[in-house]
Structure 1
Amino acid sequence: MKPAALLFDMDGVIVDNHQFHLKAWMEFSKRHGFHLDEVEYKKHINGRTISATMAHFFPDEKNPDVIQSLGAEKEEIYRQLYAPHQKPTPGLVNFLRLAMDAGIAVGVGSSAPPENIAFTLDGLDLRKYFAAIVNGSEVSVGKPAPEVYLKLAEKLGAKAEDSIVLEDALSGIEAGKNAGAKVIGLATTHPAHEISHSDLVINDFNGLTVDKLTSLF
């Protein structure tokens, strides 16, 4: 059957920006006196909300305003680094048009804060392709909990189990599975063998068709 909805993550899916988030986190960690490398980034950061991540690195900080300020600082570093380089993942726009022409509902369910979602969707003129958005500030529990994708499917008028999640992060793939959805994993942040538990693994959107989506059900 044709999927009722496509539930897109943003970072690492709509844009292949892993290295810029990593650079931003490394700059932030230097400013605040803690060590961070790519292994730590993938384990504790990628796919999770900024508030959850800050709580991990600053466990003694109980003031939510301070946590929010720290998160805003890191995201500003990221946007400054990535702004000159921002572009859609190869094949994305054509794939979105195919999905729209097929009558498939499309939305974004991201752990990113609303400022980053606006930065990407408006900066690349992609907002028009997405009928609904759920950002990191709208969920009580971040990925790998399924809340973000359950909420997004509901906004799109679809059942999660009739939908496909498109993800790059291990926590996001788990969130999609926990929601009952099929999952397409993008080998942008992790190599293909690390996300092989996805229902389908792709490098980008070139060659992805509605028929391939249908074959997952």
Structure 2
Amino acid sequence: MKAIIFDLNGTMINDMWYHTLAWEDILNNDLGGNFTREEVKQNMYGKNHELLVRMFGKDRFTAEEMDKLSLEKEKRYQKAFLPELKLLPGLQQFLESAHTKGILMAIGSAAIPFNIDFVLDGLNIRKYIPVVVSADDVTVSKPHPETFLRAAELLNVSPDDCLVFEDVPKGAEAAGNAGMKAVILTTTHEVNEFDYLNNIIHFAPDFTDPYIKSLVE
């Protein structure tokens, strides 16, 4: 392992509940939908625009309207989550150890830069993670491998030298499509939801897990 690529939401921070509530508010209260929380949760992957198309069809919104809805959703999420903004247990120490060992690190996320900056700068961890691939940097989002392949390219490492940390099946599937192994943080989905994938090497609740700690010792 020469490089680690982190998904962000639900992987570095435990915030997916707040994203779910923000989307539920937008989709149902602002846009007149009638979606269950489980329906919202199952569609929360990829870019914000893609989620809106999945939920309402491709002709409901203009690109400009989707831009505004996306930003409004993120503002509501950030306002609600800010008092709880912190890294998953053990991640600060993991980042420091990996950095000391010279392991390269990147973020490969479907989040927009507005949200990635909220975390990197809010928690002062940008110094560990010089490479960021956001929703704005790819044409096709997860489970397409573009996000992770782009991160590997920017790190100047081979995909098979990268390990991905993810929390959702579509993200782990994207890692597999990129030829990368994945470690899953069980913050968002149950272990059995990943049964169809063969590139997962470990499941853990957070970064205090002995196996995860051993990766950078």
CA separation of 1:121/1:18 partners in 2, compared to 1, >3 Å: closer, same or farther?
same
Partner in structure 1 of residue 107 of structure 2: 108
- What is the percent sequence identity of the aligned residues? 33
| Pairing of 1:31-42 with structure 2 (within 5 A) | 31-42=30-41
Structure 1 CA distance, aligned partners of 2:123 and 2:149?
Answer: 26
Q: Secondary structure at the match of 2:5?
A: strand
Cα RMSD over matched residues? 1.7
- Residue 37 of structure 1, CA deviation: 2.7
Structure 2 CA distance, aligned partners of 1:140 and 1:117?
Answer: 18
Deviates more, 1:76-85 or 1:28-37: 28-37
Q: Deviations over 1:100-121 (max 9, x none)?
A: 1111100101000000001111
Gaps of 5+ in 1: none
- Residue 62 of structure 1, CA deviation: 5.1
- Residue 36 of structure 1, CA deviation: 2.6
Contact 1:61 1:67 in 2 (8 A): no
Gaps of 5+ in 2: none
Partner in structure 1 of residue 47 of structure 2: 49
Q: Secondary structure at the match of 1:201?
A: strand
What TM-score results when the alignment is normalised by the length of structure 1? 0.91
- Residue 64 of structure 1, CA deviation: 1.1
| Pairing of 1:1-217 with structure 2 (within 5 A) | 3-29=1-27, 30-45=29-44, 47-59=45-57, 60-61=59-60, 63-195=62-194, 197=197, 198-206=200-208, 207-209=210-212, 211-212=214-215
Q: Which amino acid aligns with 2:187?
A: T
CA separation of 1:100/1:213 partners in 2, compared to 1, >3 Å: closer, same or farther?
closer
What TM-score results when the alignment is normalised by the length of structure 2? 0.91
Q: Deviations over 1:60-94 (max 9, x none)?
A: 23521111111111111111111111111110010
